[in-house]
Amino acid sequence: MVGGGYVGMYTALRLQRKLARELRDGSVEILVVSADPYMTYQPFLPEAAAGSIAPAHVVVPLRRVLPRCTVVVGDARRIDHARRTAWVSTLATRSEGGGDLEIGYDELVLAPGSVSRTLPVPGLADHGIGFKTVEEAVGLRNHVLAQLDLASSTRDVEVRDAALTFVFVGGGFAGVQALGELADMAGYATRYFHNVAADDLRWVLVEAADRILPEVGEDMGRWTVRQLRGRGVDVRLETRLENCEKRVASLSDGARFPTRTLVWTAGVKPHPVVAATDLPRDTAGRLRVTATLRLAETEHAWAAGDAAAVPDLTAGHPGAVCPATAQHAVRQARTLADNLAATLRGREPAEYRHRAAGAVASLGLHKGVGHLYGRQLKGYPAWLMHRVYHLRRVPTVNRKARVLADWTLAALFKREIAALGSYENPRAAFELAAGGERHPEG
């Protein structure tokens, strides 16, 4: 099983229950290859960035929840399904200087997820910040707070303005929620700075389409734009980022924003390992699968999640595929596990069908928007529904309790506003003591 995200973890979790007898007698082994030893619950990344949830509480350790599986932490480099072999780079293979680890298999579940879809925008690779991992969320929080420190301590007006300008590219869930949560957090933090006010902060949201948050519907998307603009956010629709060299974001409408913070959330693409296989793919690079989640025209191979083009049988028209959402990924994992277990026992697999219940997003503390079961939600009810829904969905009782405790403490006590950028360079203090120099954040 390649991938330890939503599909990989939930599929393995269900398989170890359904195949408990086979696992005990040794006739079946489940091996999970994951780049990280944990699954990240991505809907909570904005709150982790804002400090409402501890970063360690938005990840689920794979070895704890998959005790009957063998977890290999490494990057799948290449898969030759004709030979039933995967090549995996692990910490051991890299430190020993040898070749990649070869792993043979009988059944393949390919669920590596997605990576940020970048465009050839000049300067993006040098200055852009992603928002798909817990490390990026924590790094962005520290970076934003560090910009407040920089603005407070400089006498250079241009440096100050660039430090207090935050540009987010992408009007989907990741970008809008990250902007909403961080704007609340940074606005709160300014009350502890003697020369930086909340009104000094400039937030810009850039979206190439004519609306944001398409998952919540057109009406709620327009309402969200009005709500953000009412909070002082500069929302620019039908606009693209064309250049960000020399820390200046140049947009297609002619606007230019000197900024030290450029957050890129403009879509995703399948993980690179998908292209390093001999499995069928569509024109977008996703794995072609049938409604049973088996690879098209391929035996002993399965896929689901962001990297797979799963047919949407509830859409009412041929050719439709399921959107790449956590809601679909979790349910696809259940069907995939059931079908794989059924196939091993000589039974026929079932088709995946799920009509999405809707979507809900947080726009900051006590603010949200959503469209669930045909009902439109906004403001506090949407924010509360967002928390209730995802608290139910986050895996394990352990994580539910920890997240609930974080929310309770955050409601009772003041926000934390310390930037812990040294996390990203823990040897900095020792290097300074040894006669080196401490390098501040760029």
- In angstroms and rounded to an integer, the radius of gyration of the C-alpha atoms of the chain is 23
Q: What is the pLDDT of residue 14?
A: 95
Q: Hey, which residues does 269 pair with through a beta bridge?
A: 115
Phi, psi of 214 (to 5 degrees): -60, -20
Nearest-5° Cα angle at 78, 74 to 80: 130
What is the rounded average pLDDT for all residues in the chain? 92
E-strand spans in 81-215?
85-90, 101-104, 108-110, 114-116, 128-129, 165-169, 202-206
Phi, psi of 44 (to 5 degrees): -95, 0
Contact between 322 and 328 (Cβ < 8 Å): yes
Q: Please determine, for residue 426, whether its predicted confidence score (pLDDT) is greater than 80.
A: no
What residue ranges define each of the domains in the chain, with the CATH number in brackets?
Answer: 6-115+269-344 (3.50.50.60), 128-266+358-412 (3.50.50.100)
Helix (H, G, I), strand (E, B) or coil at 356: coil
Q: What is the pLDDT of residue 440?
A: 53
Q: Please determine, for residue 441, whether its predicted confidence score (pLDDT) is greater than 60.
A: no
Tokens for 363? 């726009």
Rama region for 423: left / alpha / beta (φ>0; ψ in -120 to 50; rest): alpha
Distant-in-sequence contacts of 150-159, Cβ < 8 A, 24+ apart: 150/260, 151/196, 151/200, 152/193, 152/194, 152/195, 152/196, 158/258
The structure's pTM equals 0.91
Q: What is the pLDDT of residue 357?
A: 77
Nearest-angstrom CA–CA distance, 336 and 289: 11
Distant-in-sequence contacts of 16-23, Cβ < 8 A, 24+ apart: 16/66, 16/67, 16/68, 16/69, 18/337, 18/338, 18/341, 19/341, 19/344, 20/68, 22/344, 23/68
Contact between 267 and 277 (Cβ < 8 Å): no
Q: What is the pLDDT of residue 19?
A: 95
Average pLDDT (334-347) is: 95
Q: What is the pLDDT of residue 442?
A: 52
E-strand spans in 329-407?
358-362, 368-372, 375-378
Q: Given pLDDT bands bounded at 50, 70 and 90, which one contains residue 356?
A: confident
Give the N- to C-terminal CA distance of the chain in Å, as an integer.
39
Average pLDDT (14-20) is: 95
Nearest-angstrom CA–CA distance, 228 and 183: 10
Total Cβ atoms within 10 A of residue 21? 9
Q: Please determine, for residue 424, whether its predicted confidence score (pLDDT) is greater than 80.
A: no
Nearest-5° Cα angle at 16, 270 to 405: 75
Q: State pLDDT tens for residues 360-378.
A: 999 999 999 998 877 899 9
Q: What is the pLDDT of residue 133?
A: 92
Q: Please determine, for residue 421, whether its predicted confidence score (pLDDT) is greater than 70.
A: no
Percent of the chain with pLDDT over 70: 98
Cα distances (angstroms) measured from residue 108 to each of 70, 81, 111, 112, 229: 15, 8, 10, 12, 48
Q: Given pLDDT bands bounded at 50, 70 and 90, which one contains residue 439?
A: low
Q: State pLDDT tens for residues 255-307.
A: 999 999 999 999 889 999 999 999 999 999 999 999 999 999 999 999 999 99
Q: State pLDDT tens for residues 232-245.
A: 999 999 999 999 99
